[in-house]
Amino acid sequence: MAKLPALPKRFHTASVWALYWLGLCPALAAFYLGAAGRLPGNPVKEFEHLLGIWALRFLVATLAITPIRDLFGINWLRYRRALGLLAFYYVAMHFLAYFLLDQVLNMPAIIADISRRPFITIGMAGLVMLIPLALTSNNWSIRRLGSRWNQLHKLAYVIAAAGALHFAMSVKVVGLEQMTYLALVALLLGWRLVRKPYLKRKRQANPPHRHAKDAVA
Amino acid sequence: MPAYRPPRIAPSEITPERCFLSRRTFLATTAGALLGAGAGAAQAAALAAPKGKYTVDEDLTPEADVTGYNNFYEFGTGKADPAANSDAFKPTPWTVKVDGLVAKPKEFGLEELLALPLEERVYRMRCVEAWSMVIPWTGFPLAALLDKVEPLGSAKYVSFETVVRPEQMPGQSGFFQPLPWPYREGLRLDEARHPLTILSVGVYGKTLPNQNGAPIRLVTPWKYGFKGIKSIVRISLTETPPPSTWNLSAPTEYGFYANVNPAVDHPRWSQATENRIGGGGFFGANRRDTLPFNGYADEVAGLYAGMDLKANF
């Protein structure tokens, strides 16, 4: 298979920073439009939904890094932390938009929502689970936690499932968009079950070929 | 070039002030008739009607929001979809068949319906999704139409049906259609005959735009918005409760009555408060308490005397 031209190593750090900034653009643009009164209809809901959708997109992208490497030999591991943190930032902003702009700090209503409405309970659980992952998304934590870091970060699977479910349960009719996210998350999680046998067989099938190619590259 | 001289106007040609001022009244009364005659012309024609007595004294939701942010799943499930996807819809010519348990079943042409006594009413509109608007509708009481067909004594309910036109309504074709078509709604006969219940043919002084249910739709301001069935082609009087689309789709979430009730939550969100659309931006957002029967309790609560409104939501 033809490979993408590799990004020269000297641009790696800059590309990660670019991802952070690009990733925050949808939220910044929507916040600007909403604050300026230029989001039509129900601006608070529009903003809340936009943040939620982007959170889900970044969760999916985070989980896609491994399958992309397994299947296509493209290593984007250097972007995974940024994608995961962007997902966390968007989930946090999604919650803040609900808390500050939508419910306007109405604590009884918020507590009732979280405790009584399953889709909000699930969404809230996703946010809570993301906090330890965001706090340990740094090299120091990886060194400190060792193999426990990997264990902890498997929570990302549960969080992505919670996110897709939260989205599907929030709408009046589950449509193509919700089905797409449910299917994507199901596929990405399903890959985790089959990747080990797949990689083993792949290694056994063509070890010399792979090595030869790597040597040339 | 010679200087321009305005033509001299003889005093006899000057319109008396009295006649000039009554021109407005003349326009208002004839516009409806003209529109009836010219039905089939471009949509969103002017539609003047005298103001009715049922008018709430609250700020109107901007026209752009009324016509740009709403639900009409026949054109898509997004709030902007109806405005974006309804250009190909042809609201004229149009007929509404009124049948069932009536002495004189009849298929009414739109012109006949527009000849009924139209008036403008400013109503609150509360969506089941916890947002609300204040909308100037033009229409006539549904009772006026029912009188023409003479419901039989056995008629207890009124059933409504929306048009099915997949070629003009993109939400009615393709994969993942959100609801079974046609969209159906129903009212009890006494609700249908209540003076607040109107069939609307216009909004903001113009004929209904396609996205708002052209050419004719139901408005029941004390009920959640989904009861306001759009682009109606059939009205039937029945003895048994008619099916209603959202109730069939999710019976635990949407009841037959669907009266606005802050005390009965939707299972997935609270109905205690609502977000009034049109505040302009995040900080003009306007969350307010939802009123029982959407503020029309004085007029309609009597219809439900003795009923358990938590069970009959």
Given an 8 Å threshold on Cβ–Cβ distance, is B268 in contact with A119? Answer: yes
Tens of pLDDT, residues B121-144:
999 999 999 999 999 999 999 999
d(CA B278, CA A32): 17
| Both tokens assigned to A21 | 């900034």
User: Which of B73, B253, B287 comes nearest A104 by C-beta?
Assistant: B287
The angle at the Cα of B255, spanning B251 to B78, to the nearest 5 degrees, equals 80
pLDDT at B32 over 80: no
- Which residue matches tokens 């193999």? A147
The pLDDT value recorded for residue A81 is: 97
Q: Does A108 touch chain B (CB under 8 A)?
A: no
Per-domain residue ranges of chain B: 55-249
Q: In 3D, which of A87, A93, A89, A88 has the Cα closest to residue A44? A: A93
Residue A5 located in a structural domain: no
Residue A212 located in a structural domain: no
Local structure of B264: helix, strand or coil: coil
Check residues A205 and B257 and name the one with the higher pLDDT.
Answer: B257
**Number of domains, chain A:** 1
Residue A4 located in a structural domain: no
User: How many angstroms away from the CA of B149 is the closest CA of chain A?
Assistant: 36
The pLDDT value recorded for residue B228 is: 98
A to B CB pairs, distance under 8 Å? 75
User: Which of A34, A41, A118 comes nearest B69 by C-beta?
Assistant: A41
With cut-offs at 50, 70 and 90, classify the pLDDT of residue B88.
Answer: very high
With cut-offs at 50, 70 and 90, classify the pLDDT of residue B22.
Answer: low
Residue A213 located in a structural domain: no
Chain B residues with CB under 8 Å of A45 CB are 131, 275
Tens of pLDDT, residues B204-231:
999 999 999 999 999 999 999 999 999 9
The pLDDT value recorded for residue B285 is: 60
Range of the domain at A33: 14-202
Residue partners of A96: CB distance under 8 A and separation at least 6: none
Tens of pLDDT, residues A154-170:
999 999 999 999 999 99
Residue A216 located in a structural domain: no
With cut-offs at 50, 70 and 90, classify the pLDDT of residue B175.
Answer: confident
Question: Quick one: chain B helix, strand, coil %, rounded to 5?
Answer: 25, 25, 50
Q: Does A109 touch chain B (CB under 8 A)?
A: yes
Above pLDDT 90, what percent of chain A?
Answer: 81
What's the CATH class of domain B55-249?
Answer: alpha beta
Q: Does A43 touch chain B (CB under 8 A)?
A: yes
User: Which of A34, A113, A171 comes nearest B270 by C-beta?
Assistant: A113
E strands, B189-311, where? 198-203, 206-207, 217-219, 232-238, 273-276, 286-289
Chain A residues with CB under 8 Å of B275 CB are 42, 44-45, 102
Q: Which of A172, A173, A178 to mutate to test the interface with B (most CBs of B within 10 A)?
A: A172
The pLDDT value recorded for residue A149 is: 97
User: How many angstroms away from the CA of B161 is the closest CA of chain A?
Assistant: 20
Q: Does A173 touch chain B (CB under 8 A)?
A: yes
Tens of pLDDT, residues A165-211:
999 999 999 999 999 999 999 999 999 999 999 999 988 887 655 55
Residue A215 located in a structural domain: no
Q: Which of A33, A115, A173 to mutate to test the interface with B (most CBs of B within 10 A)?
A: A173
